[in-house]
Every structure is written in structure tokens, then in C-alpha cells.
Chains A and B, each alone.
Chain A
Amino acid sequence: MIRFNWRSFDWLLLVAILMLSIYGVVMINSAVQGDPELTNYPQRQIFYIVAGLVLMFAVAAFDYKFLSFLTEPFYLLVILLLGLVGVLGNRIFGAQSWIDVFGLFPIQPSELAKVALALAMGKYLAYHLDQMDRLRTVLIALLIMLPLLVMVFLEPDLGGAIVLAVEGVFILIAAGLRVQHMVLGVVAGLGLFPFFWGLLQEHQRTRLLIFINPTADPDSYFNVNQALISVGSGGLLGKGYGQGTQSQLHFLRVRHTDFIFSVIAEELGFVGAVGLLLLLFFVLMRLWRIADRARDPFGSFIVVAIAGIVLFQTVVNVGMNMALVPVTGLPLPFVSYGGNAMLSIMMLVGLAESVAMHHRKIEF
């Protein structure tokens, strides 16, 4: 039964997300100036935000409890879609979104895989919480993750695969992963590494190597260097909106997506960048709160997975802009330009809102 409980809807989370999204549109507008090919990107981003909000409310309207019943078919569907992309997509349409071609909204199967993983792993661990001291439970949880991980990696979407792995680890930690299992996992991972390495193809190895050592790739080295100069030359208040020399003279590449944080730090300075980080921090705090107040572990785990994704992408993207972590194509949640990322993150927030609306009853 669908019961709307809008009083429990986390409106503050929504407000924070809207502020982040609008911040994003404003900065994308600055980033695409002087680039005739990209002039309508701010408008397109607004369209994606609106579409994302619709999707968010639609997902939020579902009691996540019903999703629990749909977990297995949904999991299989995502596997099937990933397989189709692997077989057809690569050959005919390129790696991107073949679903887009059929006129559906542009969500890649790899984004749906995040939802599938949260549901499947969350459901399994919620049922086996009392068996977390057994290695078997952890291994089965990992086996649930493995097919999704492998297929997304083969799509090829290395960033997506890493996000999935991190998402899984967050759920396991929330479920009470034992320290000895964690150590075992790290040791086993290191031990099996040469074996995996042997399985990889040459170009996949190259991609991993560049991920670990970006200076090997002159292009990403250049980009990180320019990002550092952009951020560093911003100062306290920045060079002014639309006045960043690094972004306006295009020294900063992929300004509207990967390096939007550098544009903010350069043009609006420390104040603007910290403001952005505070908004993201607030969003995360609201998500942890929802996870804490969920009525059951399944709901909790779903939100932990979502918060994990948001946290990880934020750290990786902002860290990449400040040369703390290697360069990957991971967007800054809610801020970077991109329909797929926007719809995906809005869908995940919708899921979190669904959990929020059906929270544990706390007596007022």
C-alpha cells in the first residue's frame, strides 16, 4: 500500500540539493562562456534538474518496502541490461547509453546497478545481521556484488565499478563487518592481485596504471596542473564570477563537468568553495540522519549506500581538483553538468526520501 507521509519527507535535504544544483547551473554558465558549442548547457542542466526532481518524487512515493519484494527481478533485469550494453552497445552505439537511442531517459545501466546493489546487498545483510560474525555471510554479500562489478567494469566504466565496490564496502561496514574479516579481505585482495592482473587486457591495465599514476598520462597531468593553478590562484574571494583567467581562457579543460570545483574556487575563491563544501556536508549529514532513523536495517543500508556514493564521489572529484586523488571521470554530485549523473543521483535521493518518509516511529 502506498501511503504518503510528506510530513516526514526531508525538506531540508531537498532544499540543500536544490541550492547545490542551482549553484551548479550558475557555475556551468560561467564555465561555458565563449564556447559556442556549449552555450545552451545551463538550460539543459536546468531541464535535467527538473526531470531529476520529478524522478525523485516518483521514487520517493514508493514505500521502499515494496522494492524489497522486487529486489531479485530488478537485480536480474540490471544484469540483463548490462549484458545487452556489453554485447550490442559496444558494437553498435559505442560504450555510452544505448537506452537513450530507444527514446527512454538517459540513465545508463551502470547507474541502475548502484540501486540494484543497494537493494540486493541491503536485503541479504538485513536478513543475516545476526550472522555477521561468519565469514560466509560476508563472502555471499561480496558474491552478490561481483557480477554487477565485473559487468560495469567491462562496459567499460572503471569509475562506475569503483563506486560500486565502495558502495558495497559502506553497506558491509554499516552491517557490522568484523575487523578480522576486513583485514582478511585486504590481505586476500593483495594476494589475488597478480591473478586479476593476469586476467586483464592491455588497455585495461593501462587504464588502471593511469588511475594510480596520472603523470603517466600527459593529458590528465596537464589538466590537474591547470586545476591546481585555478584553485590556488583564487584566493579568499576569487577573481570574480566569469572573470577566472584559467577557466575563461580555457586553460582548464572539461570545466563544466570534471573541473567545475576549480571554476568555483578560482572565480569565487575560498568563500565560494567552502560554501559549496558546507552544502555537500549538510546533504551527507541529512543522509546519515535518515539512515539512523530508518525503521529497519534494510532501509538503513539503502541510505548508507547512497550516502557512501555521494561521499565517495565528492571526495574523489574535489580531491582530484586539488591533486589529492588520481583523475577519474567521476562528477561532483548535484553540481557537475550531465543528464545521466543528475538523474541518477536524484533517483538515489528519491530512494533515501522514501526511507525517510517511512522512518521508525519516534514518539513526539
Chain B
Amino acid sequence: MSSRLPDLSTRLLVLRLSTVVIFLALVTQLAVLQFSRGRQYQERALFNRTRVVQTEGARGVIYDSQGRFLARNRALFAVALVPADLPDDPDFAVSLQKRRALYRALLDVLQQAMAEYSPPPTPAPEGLPSFYEVGQSRPPGPSILSLEEIESLVNQRELGSAYQPVLVAENLPREVALRVEEERYRLPGVEVVVITRREYFSGSDIAHIVGYMGPIPQENITTYVERGYPADAWVGLAGLELTYEQTLRGRPGRKVIEVDVNGRERAVIGQEVPPRPGRNLILSIDLDLQKAMRQALEGGIRPLRSHSAVAVAMDPRNGHILGMVSLPTYDNNIFADGVTPEEYREIAEAPGFPLINHAISGIYPPGSTFKLVTASAALQEKVITPKTILNAPGIIYLPNRNFPDNPNLAQPFVCWIYKSGGQHGDINVVYAIAESCDIFFYKVGGGWPVAEFEGLGVETLAYYANLFGFGNLTGIDLPAENPGLVPNTRWKRLAKGEKWVTGDTYNMAIGQGDVLATPLQVTLMTAAVANNGFLYKPEVVAAITDDRGNVIEERGPQLIRELPIDPKWLDVVREGMWLAVNWEGGTAKDIWDPDLRIAGKTGTAEFFDPEIIRDRRGNLPTHAWFTAFAPYEDPEIVVTVFVYNGGEGSLVAAPIAHKILQAYFDIKARRAEAANPAAGDDTPVEETP
């Protein structure tokens, strides 16, 4: 047997030599990796451990004209678990046990901290919620998941993305979040997360202007991601939050961080480019007036009859919006913390559609307020002069075009006054405005063939209506504006397939028929009359400031156009509006106020709604309008009030406008006094809120 051993030694030599060769191969590969390709792998190692992260700057704040917060950022504290960092063990049962112990420890810390934390007393709500407000928000309380909920959530998440945090407690008070942060050293996988959300002061008072934020809608995600938004970012979805999204957001910063394999930050490398906070918005709206407008509006309408109403106040000298109320309203704080689709639908589809800003998105027949356009156009086009007197019985019969001599075929047109058996008689344009005489404007608009009086005609009337801003977007800095409608021959042919007839011009001349306008457009018209023919673009934002309060941009008046109407004709129209309020025969004489010097125009616009039944005499239901400016000699405010199905403009809308004007001048006096107390010794100094 031992004779074989030399053979064995030979074979062992082969094995030894193989070992040498194998080790040489290993060392060669090592040298190739570390020397020849070393640089390449060093770069990849660097790429591995560094990330460029985007840091969002604080979103801009929204102030009212007096510098009061309308929208501000609020930090929300939450506690999250990162499944990948939780204790683990190859043995499932052990792993489960370890994790349960961790969850229990975390819940103990949370509960103990919550017990020790005494919340500040919550202020009592101011009165009962109004009929015209839906979905009052309650500040969301802390919510902490149970052990079973945590377990099932973590298990679900672990299958998918184990590095995505699972929120286990939300809306925690700062103190409680800090306690968890302190205990984190013994709670692996637990993280304290800070989420910024919006907080809206005076929520429902100004919700339609300020708007709200929410997660990027699914259909817009690519657009926003292209603009540098993270896919889970929140963006403005309504109101100024939407229009000024780019301004409010600011410029994100960037920093290079060292991360571990889970992408968690370990250190910051090099220089950090800090984010630039968003710009702040200062509105032209005074919250005090805004609130007074809402109060006046809510107090002046009958809830069960009118499901919606609008009040708009604007400065005719520059187009700044001073107040804008649309009822019903909603509390935008509901959206600050996120809503479910069901909650959203419930709010959106409530009676009167609370989410819609009816002041710019609602279109209605403007009724007699439109006579300001007809009057201005007729004077400028020399259809009439201020001295032209037309006969205005309570009812006229427009002869049939083809059979002018057959009275049975003539079409009757009535004046509002005919319902109570009256008539305006012979009348000129100033008194026709003051008394809101329909017959006068029928004739001015469509002509009166019986007396061979030539009217404006549809095309000229439509031309002037467009000049006054009807049928076009005003361009206000709020989303979802509706252009309304100014009909003409062509429109009727295309939309209805019918020929335009003189009767249509009659209806159009008094703001009925197919004319549709937003309350904001009516406001713009009145402002143009008040300021001698300047159509300004309405604006809600008066100035934009940076985070230190420096003014970046001041919004002056932005002229849309100067109307090609001689100011002397507008003087005539204004006189009619003055008499409407300040003469005993005027339609708005009931709101006569010796202190305020109001000029205005009422409107009672018939509309067709299958759900609203006609009155006993078969009359159509009517919207109540009133549009006014003050002071008469030097107008500084225009107010328009619209009440859906409100009835008579003079009875319903005018008193509301009066209250708003009173509030405006009260606030103005109070502010002047506060600024210069010596000037007003004789009156007690009121406290400014």
C-alpha cells in the first residue's frame, strides 16, 4: 500500500499547484477591480451615498388690507413608523413579538404624554352656524391608532414599500411630539414628522377669495411634476391659493446629503442652497367690510326663498375689490386637513353650491341695471338727447312686422308699473332711469315704428354692452370666472336657429331675454359710469411682498379700456341714478340717506326656473338687484347686491347695499380717527379691532 504513496504525493502536488493558481486568479481580479476600475467604482460609491434633495420654502402668507392674517402656515406633528427600520428577526414569531413590544412602548409614551399635556381652553364658537354656511370645521383632535391597526398597516406596507413611513398618530400637540422625539433612542423605526398645512383665519367669511389647498389632482400630476413639484405635494386648488400658486410657493432650495441604503439622511455635504420662501399677498379687501357685507347680506335675505346671494364692493378709481361675498359659503379650513371624496361632494352639492363663487361664476339676467348701458349707448349714438321725451304708457303693442295694421297680431310689452295699474307717461332719460321706466327703454332699444322713432338696434346695443365688459371675462385674479352672454343676431341664429326680432331688442334693452351677467360685471359697469368711463380690471391682490415685508409689486389701476362715451352723457346717467335714490319718485327712495350721497339703480330680473312656481298672477320669479356708488360727487365705492329669487330689487337688494355703504363709511371714519385722534374730539373714539 505504501508503494502507492508517491503517486498520492504527485496528485497532492497538482492540488497544491491548483491552489496557487486559484489564489493568483483571485488576487488578479482584486487588482483589476481596485486599480484598473478603481476610479469608476469610487464614483459609483459616491453616487450611491449622495442625494440632491429639494427643500420647500415656507408658503407665502395672505393678509387683508389692514395686515391681518387670512391664510397662514401651521405645523402639524405626526408620529410615523418606517417598517424597514423596525426590529426584525429571521423567526417570524420572535420578530412579531419584538415589534409588538415596540408598538406598546410607543403607545405608552404617546398616552402618557397626552395625559400630561393640558390643552389650552378652546374659545367658544361665535354664535350658531348660519344658514348660509355649510361644513363648519372643527380643529381636528389628535388621532392615535390602536396596536392592531398599527400592526395591520405595517404588514400591508412591508409588502410594498418598506421605507415609506406609516403614520400612526396625527395632529399631535407640539409638546407630545417632542416627548416622542426624546424617547426615540429606544424606539427604532419611529420618526416624528412635521407636516405644514394651511390655517385660514375668518374661514367662511372670505373662503371664496382665499380658496384652499389640496393634493395635486390626479389628472394634473404630470404638469406639476414638470414644474418641479413632488408628486405628493399640496397645491392651491381654489381662490387665490390657485391663482397665485407660483407666487405663494416660492423657490425650492437644494442640498446634497449623504444617505444610507434606505435613503435616510446622515449628513449634509457641502454648501446648502436655502429655499426662498414664497411671496406674501396683501389684499385690497378689508376684512371688517367683508364681514359687514356678509352680515348685511345674510340679514337682508329670506333663507327659504333665496338659496344664494352676492355682494360685491369695488373701488371705481382703480378696480380694487373692497369686499366680495357669495352665499352660501363654506369654511375652507375643512380642506386644510384634507377631505374625503364623500365630504367634498356633500359640500359641493349642497343647496346653492357653496363652493362656487357666484360673484364671478354665477350668470344671471341683469334686469333693469342694464338700462345704464342702454341709456349711455343711446345718448352717445344720438338716438336720444337728455331732452328727448318719449311717451310711456303702462303697456304698448308692438305692431306685427308683416301685418302692421292688424292690431290682433301686435305683441304687447308691459312696464313693471303696469302690474299695479300705473304708467310713467311722458318721460325723459334721467327720469326713466330714476323710475326704471321699461317702455322708454324698449323704444330706445328697439325703436317705435308707430311714431317712426329709430332705436339703437341689437348690434349697437350689443357693441356697447361688450364695451362695458359684458360677455367678456373681466380678468379678475380669481379662478373660474364666467364671461356671461351678450346676445346678437348671429348668436340667436346659431344658438336657437331663429331670426332676431324687434321684441328681442326690447327685452335686451331692459336686461332681460338672453343677456346674462355676473354680479362682478354689473359692478364694473356701474364703476365705469361712476368714474366717467374707465373700465378697470378688477383685482383682489393690492400688493405682493417678500418674506421680510418688502413690497415687490404694487398693483395700481389696470385699465381695460376707456369707453368711447362722452363724459357729459355719463353725467346724465349718473343724474338718473342719483334721482333713483334721492327723489321721492325714485325706485330706491326708501334707502335715502342724507349722509351718504348714494346713487344707484335697482333691478328686478325675471328668470325662468322650473322649480320655482310663478305667483298668483302668473308672473315669473325675479332676482333682486341693486348697484350703486357713493359719494355721488366723488365716487370711491361701488356696491352691487344680487339676491337669487329675491323679489323686488328696491325692497330686497337696495337695503342691503345701503347697510354695506353705511358700514364702509363707518369703518373709514373709524380708521381716520384712529390714525388722527385729535381731529375727532367731539365723537367718542371707538376701538379698532
Residue of A nearest to B20 (CB): A281
B26–A288 contact, CB under 8 A?
no
Q: 1/0 contact trace for B1-29 toward A, CB 8 Å?
A: 10011011101101110011011001101
Whether A270 and B41, one on each chain, are in contact in the complex, defined by CB atoms closer than 8 angstroms, is: no
A285 CA to B19 CA, complexed, in Å: 8
Partner of B44, one of A233, A235, A319: A233
Say whether A249 contacts B49, CB under 8 Å.
yes
A173 engages B261 (CB within 8 Å): no
CA–CA, A270 to B544, complex, Å?
Answer: 61
Task: Return the contact of B12 from the options A235, A245, A292, A296 (Cβ within 8 A).
Answer: A292
Q: A229-B45, A285-B16, A288-B15 are in contact. Are A311 and B4 (CB under 8 A)?
A: no
Known: A249-B266, A284-B19, A288-B16. A231 touches B33 (CB 8 A): yes
B7 A318 Cβ-Cβ under 8 A: no
A-B residue pair count with CB separations less than 8 angstroms: 129
Rank and list the top 6 A-B pairs by shortest CB-CB distance, nearest first. A232-B41, A233-B45, A249-B260, A250-B261, A232-B33, A233-B41
For A265, give its contact among B30, B37, B42, B49 (CB under 8 Å).
B30
Q: Count residues on chain A whose CB falls below 8 Å from chain B CBs.
A: 49
* Of the residues B11, B22, B34, contact of A236 by C-beta under 8 Å: B34
Cβ of B87 under 8 Å from chain A: yes
Q: Is B118 part of the contact surface with A, judged by Cβ < 8 Å?
A: no
When each residue 29-40 of chain A gets 1 if its CB lies under 8 Å from chain B and 0 otherwise, what string results? 000000011000
Query: B262 CB to closest chain A CB, in angstroms?
Result: 7
Interface residues of A in 129-170 (CB under 8 A from B): 129-130, 170
Complex Cα–Cα for A28 and B30 (A): 21
Contact of B260 among A230, A250, A297 (CB under 8 A): A250
**Would you call A235 and B26 a contact (CB within 8 A)?**
no
Q: How far is the CA of A226 from the CA of B33 in the complex (A)?
A: 13
Contact yes or no, A300 B8, CB < 8 A? yes
Contacts of B49 in A (CB 8 A): 245-246, 249, 251
Interface contact A246-B45, CB-CB below 8 Å = yes
From A174, A245, A269, B15 is in contact (CB under 8 Å) with A174
Indicate if the CB atoms of A231 and B34 lie closer than 8 Å.
yes
Q: How far is the CA of A285 from the CA of B12 in the complex (A)?
A: 11
12 contacts between A and B (CB under 8 A): A37-B88, A176-B7, A228-B41, A229-B41, A234-B34, A249-B48, A270-B35, A277-B30, A281-B20, A292-B9, A319-B26, A324-B29
Q: Is the CB of B23 within 8 A of A235?
A: no
Q: Could you tell me the distance in whole angstroms from the C-beta of B31 to the nearest C-beta in chain A?
A: 7
Cβ-based interface call for B259 (8 A): yes
**Across the interface, do A251 and B29 meet the contact criterion of CB distance under 8 Å?**
no
B87-129, CB under 8 A of A: which get 1 and which 0? Answer: 1100100000000000000000000000000000000000000
Tell me whether B143 is interfacial, beta carbon within 8 Å.
no
Whether a CB of chain B sits under 8 angstroms from the CB of A274 is yes
Point out the residues of chain A lying under 8 angstroms from B466, CB to CB: none
**From DSSP, what is the main secondary structure of chain A's interface residues?**
helix
In the bound complex, CA of A269 to CA of B42 (Å): 12
- B200: shortest Cβ distance to chain A, in Å? 43
Determine the distance from Cα of A249 to Cα of B259 in the docked complex, in whole angstroms: 7
Q: How far is the CA of A233 from the CA of B33 in the complex (A)?
A: 8
Total count of chain B residues near the partner, CB < 8 A: 43
| B30 in contact with A315 (CB, 8 Å) | no
Interface of B with A (CB < 8 Å)?
1, 4-5, 7-9, 11-12, 14-16, 19-20, 22-23, 26-27, 29-31, 33-35, 37-38, 40-42, 44-46, 48-49, 87-88, 91, 188, 258-262, 266
- Note all chain A residues with C-beta closer than 8 A to B87: 37
**A232 & B22 in contact (Cβ 8 Å cutoff):** no
Q: A34: nearest residue on chain B (CB-CB)?
A: B260
A309 within 8 Å of B (CB atoms) = no
Which B residues lie within 8 Å of A274 (CB)? 27, 30
For B35, what are the chain A residues with a Cβ–Cβ distance below 8 Å? 235-236, 270
- Bitwise, A284-314 to B at CB < 8 A (1) or not (0) is 1100100110001100100010010001000
How far does the Cβ of A270 sit from chain B's closest Cβ, in whole Å? 5
A322 contacts chain B at the CB level, 8 A cutoff? yes
Nearest-CB residue, chain A, relative to B18: A311
Shortest Cβ distance from B32 into chain A, in angstroms? 9
Please measure, in the bound complex, the distance between the C-alpha atom of A357 and the C-alpha atom of B247, giving whole angstroms: 86
Across the two chains, which residue of chain A brings its CB closest to B188? Answer: A36
Bound CA span A229–B46, Å? 10
Q: In the bound complex, do residue A232 and residue B42 qualify as a contact, i.e. CB atoms below 8 Å apart?
A: yes
Asked if A273 CB lies within 8 Å of chain B CBs, one says: yes
Alpha-carbon gap, A173 to B11, bound state (A) = 7
Given contacts A36-B188, A277-B23, 14 further A-B contacts (CB under 8 A): A176-B7, A226-B48, A230-B45, A231-B33, A236-B35, A245-B258, A249-B48, A249-B49, A250-B262, A297-B1, A297-B5, A297-B8, A300-B8, A315-B26
Complex CA gap A291/B15 in Å reads: 11
- Check A270–B4 contact: CB distance below 8 A: no
Q: Are B1 and A174 in contact (CB under 8 A)?
A: no
**A318 close to B26 (CB less than 8 A):** yes
- With both beta carbons as reference points, the residue of chain B lying nearest to A36 in the complex is identified as B188
B residues within 8 A CB of A322?
26, 29-30, 33
